Amino acid sequence: MITHDAFSPFAIVCTSWEEEIQILKDNEFNIMLKISSLPRVQCNELECSERDVYSVKLKRESNSRDLNIFLSENENLSSSKMLSELKEVMEKIIAKQKMHVAVEMKISGSPAITLQSKEHDPQITVNVILALEVKQSWPLATKDGLCIKHWLGNKVRGSFRFKSFYLVPGPTKETWCLSFPHIEKEMLNNHGKLKTCCELNGPKCCRKACLRLLQYLLQKLQHKNERNQKLVKFSSYHVKTAYFHACVSRPDDTNWKLEDLDNCFEILVNDFVNHLQIKELLHFFIPSMNLFGLFDQSSLTFLSDEIEYQRNNGFPIFIP
Residues of the chain with CATH 3.30.460.90: 5-137+165-180
Task: List, by residue range, all CATH 1.10.1410.40 domains of the chain.
Answer: 191-318
Domain 5-137+165-180 adopts which CATH fold?
Beta Polymerase; domain 2 (3.30.460)
Least confident residue range of 20-34, 78-92, 304-318: 20-34
Q: What is the pLDDT of residue 42?
A: 85
The DSSP code for 39 is -
d(CA 26, CA 179): 24
Instruction: Identify any residues that bridge with 167 across adjacent strands, giving them in sequence order.
Output: 132, 178
Residue 245 has pLDDT above 90, yes or no: yes
211 vs 102, more confident: 211
Closest Cα partner for 218 from 302, 108, 104? 302
The pLDDT confidence band at residue 50, using thresholds 50, 70 and 90, is: low
User: Are 123 and 27 within 8 A, CB to CB?
Assistant: yes
**Residue 18: band (very low, low, confident or very high) from pLDDT cuts 50, 70, 90:** very low
Quote the pLDDT of residue 173: 77
The phi, psi pair for 116, rounded to 5°, reads -130, 115
Residues shown for the chain: 320
Greatest extent of the chain over all pairs of C-alpha atoms, in Å = 63
Given 1.10.1410.40, 3.40.50.170, 3.40.50.720, 3.10.180.10, which CATH number is that of 191-318?
Answer: 1.10.1410.40
> Best-predicted range by mean pLDDT among 29-43, 101-115, 124-138?
124-138
Pairing verdict, β 165-169 and 53-58: unpaired
Report the chain's mean pLDDT, rounded to a whole number. Answer: 85
Beta strands 53-58 and 41-46: pairing type? antiparallel
Please give the average per-residue pLDDT across 157-169, as a whole number: 94
Q: How far apart, in whole angstroms, are the C-alpha atoms of residue 122 and residue 58?
A: 43
Q: Is the peptide bond before 122 cis (omega within 30 degrees of 0)?
A: yes
What's the pLDDT score for residue 218? 95
Q: What is the pLDDT at residue 40?
A: 83
pLDDT at 6 over 60: no
Calpha distance 287→146 (Å, rounded)? 9
